[in-house]
Amino acid sequence: MNNAFVGELFNLNTQQNGPLSGLKFAVKDLIDVAGFVTGGGNPTWTETHPVATHHAPCVMCLLEEGANCIGKTITDELAYSLEGRNHFFGTPLNPNWPHAMSGGSSSGSASAVAQRIVDFALGTDTGGSVRVPAAFCGIWGIRPTHGSIPLEGVLPFASCFDTVGWFAYDVDTFLKVGDILLPEDQSRVNLHSLPILGVAEAFDALQQQTGLAAIFKDYAEKLEMQNIQSVFPIALEEALACYQYLQDASIKENLGKWISQNSPEFGPSMQRNFERVMLNDGQNKVFYQLKQQNFAKHIDALLEKNILILPTTPMPLLHLNIDETVLSQFYQNALTINAIAGLAGVPQVNIPIANTHQYPIALSIIGPRYSDRALIKLAKHLFSSANLSLASSP
């Protein structure tokens, strides 16, 4: 199935005039739209939850500024995947690279934007669920500062890392949406005055694929990268273990009771994920929370003096028929690199550098917490000053 949407399209508009007037958007089916059940990509969840009576605040504010909501989009089951494959609803199309996945879990939202069905779309990002599909589909995307956009009306997954983000095909629309959704920046750091530092761990993850690291480094230098160095204060394995433990503990807090009471039907790979979640007893939560705090302090100090730049994903694309061993390695690398912004709670913007015939080239920049608006403007500046533009669709 290539459709990006759950159910039929509709036309929801509460304000004719506003800065977003004339723009169409879609909403990931993890976010409430009044009159529809928020299905979470899982039939059992849909069957055991009522129709939403109110729009989530992030939806309502977009409608009030003139945007037109036209549909709910497919999500990987309960947001627990980076692939974009849903056992029940199918795999949304990656229009530029139809042999590959769109990325998840905000798969339908990214697909709808990449297909130009909508101007922008809402997604959620916990461990990369906006950043990965933005990179795979060759579009703009953001994981904002944790807590900057209210999560009211959003199906809770791992609350300690959950964020609401969005996608857009062009940067000016991306900026307009940010002006509506984001609070005013609290960071006093002048981002344009900071050097741009490459994340060695992220570039190293590309080394196993011949020639890719050099290609991505070349583009990063066009975006004013001055140096590359290691940024992790602990071993990569420790960072991944910390992220995964805290994520699973939070998922169990949010969804464990529902799973126990309803014995939901999951797709095969998702079944394994939630079986592991239910085994998390939370006994090491304080230990890993302390690790997270120390990690965040290190990243905060680094971002007082640098903007970080990195390949958004450790592989440019995931083939629809990808080998399970390769997929497992992708997850290990992707979740580790994504943990920089996740554990620190800082914003990360995906920049769609180039859409080649073979694959997209996507780089991200990471900035200080609550510098989201300035970070988007910096991303636009770097993109424009490097004279980069999206290639025509392959």
Catalytic residues: 28, 105, 129
Enclosing H/E stretch for 311: strand 307-311
Q: What angle do CA 109, 110, 114 make, to 5 degrees?
A: 120
Where does 209-263 show beta strands of DSSP type E?
225-229
Strands, sheet with 68-73, edge to edge from the N-terminal-most edge strand: 5-6, 68-73, 24-28, 120-125, 163-168, 140-143, 348-355, 360-366, 307-311, 196-199, 225-229
- Distance (Å, rounded) from C-alpha 130 to C-alpha 111? 11
Other CB atoms within 10 A of residue 274 CB:
20
Backbone angles phi, psi at 72, to 5 degrees: -100, 140
94 near 136, Cβ under 8 Å? yes
Strand partners, 365: 309, 349
Q: Show the 3-state SS of 62-111.
A: HHHCCCEEEEEECCCHHHCCCCCCECCCECCCCCCCCCECCCCCCHHHHH
> Prior bond to 328 cis, omega within 30?
no
